[in-house]
Structures are given as structure tokens and as C-alpha cells.
Amino acid sequence: MHNEVKLCNRWRFDEVQIEDMSLLDYVAVIPSKHATYVPHTAGRYSVKRFRKAQCPIVERLTNSLMMHKRNNGKKLMAVRIIKHAMEIIHLLTDQNPIQVIVDAIINSGGLREDATRIGSVGVVRRQVIDISPLRHVNQAIYLLTTGAHESAFRNIKTIAKCLADELINAAKGSSNRDPNFYEIFKNMHVKKVDDQFFDNNSQMIVDLMEERVTVASQPVEGSMDLQPIDYDPFYLETIGGQKKQRVYDIGSKGVAFCSGNCASSSSITIAVMETNERIAVMETEMKEKDQHITLLKDEMQQMKEVNNEMKEMKNAIQQQMTNMQSQLAALMRQMGHRVPAEHPPAGQPTTDPPANDEEDDLGLDD
């Protein structure tokens, strides 16, 4: 239809499908109610409780990008980030970005049940409860935007590219990598209530890690790009390495790491040897390519010299032909023959006297 409302004047709402029936009323993508040209309706969705469920889902994602601190209130910047992220999603997946966002929210809401404390001060027990659909959507939006912010920090990738990666991976129900030791440590040693560390030792480890990562990620001389960081070696160095065949402070991952990647020094030695062999092979190939390039340059230089010689020979032959024509014309004059009229070479005057037509007519020639 000519009057159909499309997001960013490109993406249609009527193509979006919500697979989870429990979220039909909380993921606002109905074309007749929530179709907008831009994710900026200026609606007063926070005035009344639960009214934010009526806010278009793309605008809710846009609003979540404005948290926290230095991003507060920058709605136009958030709209621009969402627009760029949707373009990237379409280029990478060839799908409707609104559908990818909806699928990502469905898959990223976390657990469907939780535990709460029930009872008075004296008798307290924990009771399993279900998570409401609105809480599921809120948690999904928060996790997606927070992951995009953290992945874009100290990274040459833009926030739009990071957000697009988060949405695509969440829509697929998978991630590109496993969490590193530092991320596991922060997740295990930070209180969920106030985001504070459990003790001073945890805070000190995080501070040391931040200092080392900051120094190691500085760009090299002559380049503006930040260096990629492997967090695991920095974390092992910060906590003092392995102790009793395990890495402490990261739970069961510590035992799995030592039993798999660090089971014995022989496996490390073999891996180092294989890496050195690969490096040696790559260096040999680079030297061969350099020699080939040098040979090609020499051949090009020789071809240029031959071309110059051919040009000089051509000029010399033309000069000889001009001289021979001049000599032939002079010889023919000496023998009494009339030389056909030719254009003299440039810069040479004509030497033939003008013909006397009248004497020829009267027969006065000697």
C-alpha cells in the first residue's frame, strides 16, 4: 500500500511473527497500533504502571540504549545507532531487522522461573515462582543493550556493529564465544543488589586487571587501532597463576581449564612447537613471495629499457629515411629530371626555381 507505515521508511511491521504466545501482549509490533516511522514517539509511557508494555518494542530498545550516565537523554543518538544497527542486520542476515529484534528478545529473557523468600522474620522459606512476561521482556532488553555497551568498550567496532552482533546471536540462540575468566570472575564476585564487590580482594583484582588491559590495549606506534586483548593470560598473572592444578575464583571453570587446556606442560610444549613451525612456514612463504616480487620488478625494468631502445631505433630509422629522400631528390635534379612536387621537410626552404610556362609555350628553350 502507498500509505503503509514502515520503520525508517524501509522495514514493514506486518511481516513480523511472535513465536512465543506469552509475549504477544508485551512485544508491541502490531501494525495498526505500534507502526511508526522512527523509534521516537515521545509518548508518556512511564506515567502509569505497566503502560510501557504499549510502547513500540524498537523504541523500548532505543530508550534502553540511553542508560546510564553520559548517555542519558541522547535520544537522537540512540535512534541513529538503532537505524545503523538495523541496516547491518539486514546486510548480514537478509531478514527484516524488526523480526530479528523480536526473536532476540524472546531468546534473551533469561530464566522463566525464580525463587523468592516467603515467610515472616522467624520462619523463612524459599518458594519457586514464575517470571512474568513483562519481566522477561524487560530483562531481555536490558541484557542486549548492556552486552552491546560492554563489547563496544575499548573496541574499534562501533556500538551499532556490536548491537547488531548481539541481536543476531541472540536471535540464533547462540553466541560467538565462551566467556573468559575475567568475565566469570566479575559475575561471581559482584552483588546483584547493588553491583558492589563482596570484598576488597575482589575489588583489587579487578583494578589490577583494568590497569593491565588498558596498558596492553594501547595502539602501537604509527597506528590508531587498539590492540586485541586475550584476557585469560592477564587474569592468570593477576591472581598468581594456577594452584594445585586449578584456577581459583572462577568456580568449576577453573578445574575444566586445567584438565583441558592446561592438563600438562607437554601439551603446552607441543602447542608451542606447532605454532613455531607454522610461523617458520609462513616466514618461508613470505620470503619466496618477496623474491618473486623482486624478479617481477626486474623484468618490468628490463621491458622498459627494451621499449626505450625500440623508440630510439624507430627515431633513427625515420631520420635515415628522411636523409635518403633528400639525397635522391638532389641526384635527380643533377640528372635533369623534374622532381615531383613534394612537401619539403619542416624548416627547409624549397630549392626548385619556379617553372617558366611562357618560355615553354613559345618554344624558346635551349
| pLDDT per position as a tens digit, 183-215 | 777 777 777 666 778 888 888 888 888 888 777
Q: What would the mean pLDDT of 157-186 be, rounded to a whole number?
A: 81
Residue 148 sits at the vertex; the CA angle it makes with 66 and 80, to the nearest 5 degrees, is 50
363, pLDDT greater than 90:
no
Q: What would the mean pLDDT of 22-35 be, rounded to a whole number?
A: 94
Task: Tell me if 148 sits within 8 A of 166, measured CB to CB.
Answer: yes
Q: What would the mean pLDDT of 108-124 be, rounded to a whole number?
A: 80
Q: What would the mean pLDDT of 145-159 be, rounded to a whole number?
A: 89
Q: What was the pLDDT predicted at 141?
A: 96
Q: What would the mean pLDDT of 162-184 be, rounded to a whole number?
A: 79
Average pLDDT over the chain, rounded to an integer = 81
Question: Which of 2-6, 57-61, 239-243, 252-256 has the weakest average pLDDT?
Answer: 252-256
What would the 3-class secondary structure string for the chain be?
CCCCCCECCCECCCCCCCCCHHHCCCCCCCHHHHCCCCCCCCCCCCCCCCHHHHCCHHHHHHHHHCCCHHHCCCHHHHHHHHHHHHHHHHHHHCCCHHHHHHHHHHHCCCCCEEEEEEECCCCEEEEEEECCHHHHHHHHHHHHHHHHHHHHCCCCCCHHHHHHHHHHHHHHCCCCCCCCHHHHHHHHHECCCCCCECCHHHHHHHHHHHHHHHHHCCCCCCCCCCCCCCHHHHHHHHHCCCCCCCCCCCCHHHHHHHHHCCCCHHHHHHHHHHHHHHHHHHHHHHHHHHHHHHHHHHHHHHHHHHHHHHHHHHHHHHHHHHHHHHHHHHHHHHCCCCCCCCCCCCCCCCCCCCCCHHHHHHCCCC
Q: What was the pLDDT predicted at 333?
A: 84
263, pLDDT greater than 70:
no
> C-alpha distances in angstroms, 339 versus 5, 208, 351?
89, 101, 11
* Model-wide pTM > 0.85: no
Give the pLDDT band of residue 264 (cuts 50, 70, 90). very low
Higher pLDDT, 289 or 201: 289
For residue 137, give the C-alpha cell. Answer: 521482556
| pLDDT per position as a tens digit, 214-224 | 777 777 676 66
Q: What was the pLDDT predicted at 241?
A: 67
Who contacts 133 (Cβ-Cβ below 8 Å, separation ≥6)? 22, 23, 25, 26
